[in-house]
Structure 1
Amino acid sequence: MKGRVPLISSVQAGMWTEIIDNFQPGDAEAWVECHRDLGPHGYALRVKGESMTAPTGEYSFPHGMILYVNPSAEPLPGKFVVVRRNGHEATFKRLTLVDGEMYLEAINPDWPNRYIKLTPDDHICGVVVYAGLELP
């Protein structure tokens, strides 16, 4: 889906596949424009926290940045994903392959527990295909 997509909370993102059929326009924090194809059920959410803020390197996602997510895209190693863990709230991390096992990686080198093993109970809610900042 190109055009306007719902900006939702991390709780809504974690339950997106369950709530998409009953989602109403007023359920979104806002509707934001996206020039990328996010598939028929694409959504956006804001980065919370500093685990994905990197002082150097190609990518950095500071607190408040908007992520544009395609829930139908294939989550391959190296991709940035939204994952529901331990319940319904989603987290944003890079999917990383380490010694043949999948991990969620925080790209902030100073972040404690930078690598978290992906478990069978984790649910990938989509792949981030674009990120941007709202400017004043």
Structure 2
Amino acid sequence: MNRRIDNIRLKNLERLIKEANSAANLARLAKTSSSYISQVRNQLNTATGTPRTIGNELSERLERCMGKKSGWMDLEHEDEPLQSEEFSAPKAKEYARSECSLLPLITWQRAANWPEVHEPRIDYDTEHLLCPVQCGENSFVLEVQGSSMEPKFRDGEMIFADASLKPQNGQYVIAHDLNTKEAMLRQLVIDSGRRYLQALNPDWPDKIIEMGSSITVSGVVIFKGEPV
């Protein structure tokens, strides 16, 4: 792709951000991560040292989600009026919530630090999966490992977690220990103001542990092939 097209696409990206009222709204509409939009917008370097550009796949996503004709991203539109009234903030939010969100599949090591590292280190090379339920911007996907949560969660299953939700009693959460840097899938139990993490497997050692000051929740599980 030549430099001229790269520059035109960058200008058109800024135009679409204005029409969607924010980069976050545009990312939701395009079913991509706001961190990736930010990386492209600021032309952050890739692993090979070259600036990130708007590739054909992202270009087509942006055209489709904003109702533009195919090839719109490659043409200059400086003299055309903005269409921000079509994608006002409330309407864009409603539209985004009606669509599946594209979420990053991360490692358990990354999940242990997710509140701190999710922005802006996720790049478009990370595998993304569609979440068919409403979720927050900082949601993520994990592959279940081990048998601690059987029979409800089995080894190899994909689980979707939302980092923006406040965990409630009985919900399944991704928790991590700040001391050991380990993340785990457990059920949250709140009893008399004290919080515990429970493994569902009756044969699991340390089936219930109390959440001390070193243990925090990275996200609440919202989907695993069926609503949770």
For 2:117, which of 19, 27, 30 is the aligned residue? 19
Query: Partners of 1:51 and 1:31 in 2: how far apart?
Result: 25
Say which structure is richer in strand: 1
Q: Which residue matches 1:90? A: 183
Q: Which has the larger radius of gyration?
A: 2
Change (3 A) 1:13 1:107: same
Say which structure is richer in helix: 2
Query: Partners of 1:132 and 1:7 in 2: how far apart?
Result: 15
SS of aligned partner of 1:83: strand
SS of aligned partner of 2:150: coil
Note the 1:1-136 alignment, pairs <5 A: 2-22=100-120, 23-26=122-125, 28=126, 30-54=127-151, 60-85=152-177, 86-132=179-225
The alpha carbon displacement at 1:99 in A equals 4.6
Q: Which amino acid aligns with 2:223?
A: Y
Q: Which amino acid aligns with 1:78?
A: G
SS of aligned partner of 1:132: coil
SS of aligned partner of 2:222: strand
Q: Which amino acid aligns with 2:163?
A: P
TM-score, normalized by length of structure 1?
A: 0.85
Q: Which residue matches 1:57? A: none
Gaps of 5+ in 1: 55-59
Q: Which amino acid aligns with 2:196?
A: Y
Gaps of 5+ in 2: 1-27, 29-99
Query: Partners of 1:50 and 1:3 in 2: how far apart?
Result: 28
Corresponding residue pairs, total: 126
TM-score, normalized by length of structure 2?
A: 0.52
Which has the bigger relative contact order, CA under 8 A and spacing at least 6?
A: 1
